[in-house]
Structure formats: structure tokens, C-alpha cells
Chains A and B, each alone.
Chain A
């Protein structure tokens, strides 16, 4: 063990604080630098659409399975999008086996909120025949390696996977009330908007860290996630408790997040283009 490792193990707080005093983080980044993003789409053949995203060491995988379901009575012409986040003990000792924990549930609900409030996809586009058949898209996000900032990573994976989905064409026969699936003819989804999130960790009144690693999250006190659309308008702000912030810092976050939107969306486009070649 080098003396640096000893310091990190026995005095994690002072070790970390010393980095911040020099406006650096233990992984060498500045306080307002994002980690590199690596996206691959179509990584799972058993899913209708899939994507693997790496954000530094954080690796998440999103697979979308489509099933034909019956619409609800309340919304007879709407399909379903069901996001679900699974944090297996494989990805970090923080997570235990068994029913989904607080973090996984929070993430699932966050993805659901983003999809509905950004209107990523109109539920009516997923309808095959009103009152009879509609697509149900199960969007399962699995974390393979946890190193902080699951909010951003899972939303990027979800958006990339949605853009990778190819649904078979379904024709509905009114007389026999039967639907026929033609797997040879596939159609992509019509996505209306492409939201991008940016997460910040609050360390103290004056120090905020962009794109936190697991260590940053542990040392800091709470996260803020802002989700922006391509045109720069706000779609969701999610700040579940944590250190309080004043609105001046929100300005700073929004400015950083606006730059991030273009960056992430072009990275997704690039990954999709690579797949097509």
C-alpha cells in the first residue's frame, strides 16, 4: 500500500478535502468537468432496442422489450412505457439482493417522470387498435458497474435504446378482431423530444461538483438533477433533499447543463450512425 492509499483508507474526509482545496477531484477532473461518455447501441440481440452507456466507470445497460397488451379502459387509445431500474449486487456492494431498494425505485420514478413531462413519445403512437391492442414497452435499465451519477447514465441509456427500437409492423383486422405481426417489416419509434439530464453534487455552500463519482456522492450531501430539452427549456428538476441551494447556483447549473444537452445528443446520434454502417 502506498502512503496515498493509506491516507485514503484511514482519513477519507481529509484526503478528499485536500483535493477540493486545489479545485481538483481524486480522479483528476476539475469541479465542473464531465466524464467522457461512451455509447454503444444494439448491444443485446434479445431486446427490441438496447444501448450500453459508460460514464467514466459507471456502466449501465438498457434493454427495451415490446409486448402487445390491452389498453386500459381510462385511456383506450394509449400504449404503455414502463421504465424500471435494476441495481444488482454485482455493480456495487452498496446494493443488496432482493426487492428493489430506495435508489432503484427513485430512479425508476425519475425516468417515468421525465418521459411523461418531456413527452418523449406520445402514448397514442403506441396504440395498434383502440380498446384492443397497444404496445407495452418495458424499458429495463441494468447497472453493471456503479461509480456515481446513475441519473444521467440511465437517462442516456434509455434515450439511446428508445432510438434503437425497431417494432414489427402489426396489422389489425376489424372483422376477425385479430392482430397479425409481420416481423420482416420493422419501424422505428417516433420520438418527439430528447431530454438530457445533468447531475450535480452539493459539497458545501460554495462547492458543487459536476457529474459525481461514487466517492463524490458519498462525500457530498445530496444531488440536484436538471433535465433540459434540445431547445434549452426545462423539463424536470429533481432535488430530493440534501444540502440546500440558493437560486444563483441554479443559474450556474443550467448554463452547464445547456452545453451538455448538445454534447450528449450528438454522442447518441454518433452511436446510432455507427450502428447503421
Chain B
């Protein structure tokens, strides 16, 4: 039996404009499920037989593109925890209203009615770039418009990926520098 992933996204009660009750609402449950779907296809589960990987995300403040941010945070945390993944997973969100595209929308932009949002989670450096999760919500969309949005989101993911990679690298260098300095002077 290969490994299992447990995901829980918790939003702090003060993270939204209206206070959220401490019990998880449907939105948090939905996000937890979507995050789980994304991570299940990213983690090399065969390497963790009979075990479970718990991923907990705490949202401190919501200013739009929440699911994308959760995916990126979870991806970085997985790498920090030395868990085998196919590639560093990053998430991005694109909003479109009429002909206008909003990359990485803010909360006020999300809250306006008659808009469409596309969130993807992808691993850009695995097999030429693979999408792990794609969520389109609220509204109808023409196929050609969707592909345009997808391109924009993929482009955003690529940019995020290089930033995330750099973050990991800096962290690694700092850790190495710290451990070499502490081991040289016992």
C-alpha cells in the first residue's frame, strides 16, 4: 500500500473581512480536498508505504488567490521536510472578467460578481511541465478563453517556480553555513 496524504487548511478566524467561526466551513473543507488532490500527484507516494504524510496549512490573512498560495506553501514545506516529490509544486490563480485578465487577483477583485477564476497547481520542471490540479469556478467560460487563461497561469507558475527554487537554495546555503560554523567550533 502506498503512502497517504492528509491535508487540512485552517483559516484563522480573523483572516477574512467577516469573522469565521472556529469550526471549518465548506470552503475550508473544499480547499483541503483540492490541496490533497494536488499533493497526491506530486509526492512520490511509492516511497512511503503504509504511512501517512500530514500537511497542515494555516491561513493568517486572505487577500485573494488563496488556494494557489496554499499549494505553493505546502510544496515548499514538503521540500523543507525532505519528502520526495517529482518537482517543487507551485500554485497560481488567474481571474477573468469579460476580456480582462487579472493575474494573481486580490480579494476585492475576486469578490466582484460575474467573474471566472482559474487556479492551477503545477510542477513545471517534471516531464516538460505537468499540471497537478486545475480548478475553474464560478461562471461559464468559452474554451478558447480558458486556454488563454491557462497559458497565463502556466506562465505565472513558471515565474513562481524559479522564485521558490531560489528560496530553497538560499535556505540550504544558510543551513550549511550555520552547521559548518557550529561544527568547527565545538
Contact = CB atoms under 8 A, between A and B. Distances in A.
Interface of B is mostly: loop
Interface stretch (B6-14, B85-93, B152-160): B6-14
A45 B17 CA distance: 9
Nearest to B10: A88
Interface string B143-175: 000000000000000000000000000000000
Contact of B12 (A45, A61, A100): A61
A142 B13 CA distance: 9
Contacts of A50: 14
A183 to B, nearest CB: 12
A45 B22 contact: no
B15 interface: yes
A241 B22 CA distance: 29
B46 interface: no
Contacts of A2: 183
Contact of B19 (A44, A45, A67, A100): A67
A84 B58 contact: no
A63 interface: yes
Contact of A44 (B8, B10, B22, B60): B60
B14 A84 contact: no
Contacts of A63: 12-15
Interface in A136-183: 138, 140, 142, 144
Contact of B62 (A46, A67, A90, A100): A46
Contacts of B60: 44, 61, 142, 144
B16 interface: yes
A86 interface: yes
Interface string A109-144: 000000000000000000000000000001010101
A187 interface: no
A97 B6 CA distance: 11
B61 interface: yes
B14 A86 contact: no
A61 B12 CA distance: 10
A65 interface: yes
Given A61-B60, A88-B58, A90-B57, A46 B15 contact: yes
Interface string A19-60: 000000000000000000000000011110010000000000
A86 B22 CA distance: 8
Interface string B13-28: 1111101001000000
Interface string B43-73: 0000000000010111011110000000000
Contacts of B58: 88, 90-91, 142, 144
A213 to B, nearest CB: 19
B52 to A, nearest CB: 13
B56 A138 contact: no
A209 interface: no
Interface string A77-113: 0000000101011110000010010000000000000
B56 A89 contact: yes
A2 B14 CA distance: 43
27 contacts: A44-B14, A44-B61, A45-B61, A45-B63, A46-B61, A61-B60, A63-B12, A65-B14, A65-B19, A84-B13, A84-B22, A86-B10, A86-B12, A86-B22, A88-B10, A89-B54, A90-B57, A90-B58, A97-B8, A97-B10, A97-B56, A138-B13, A138-B14, A140-B19, A142-B13, A142-B14, A142-B60
> Which 9 A-B residue pairs are closest in the complex by CB-CB distance?
A63-B14, A47-B14, A140-B13, A65-B19, A90-B58, A90-B56, A89-B56, A142-B12, A88-B10
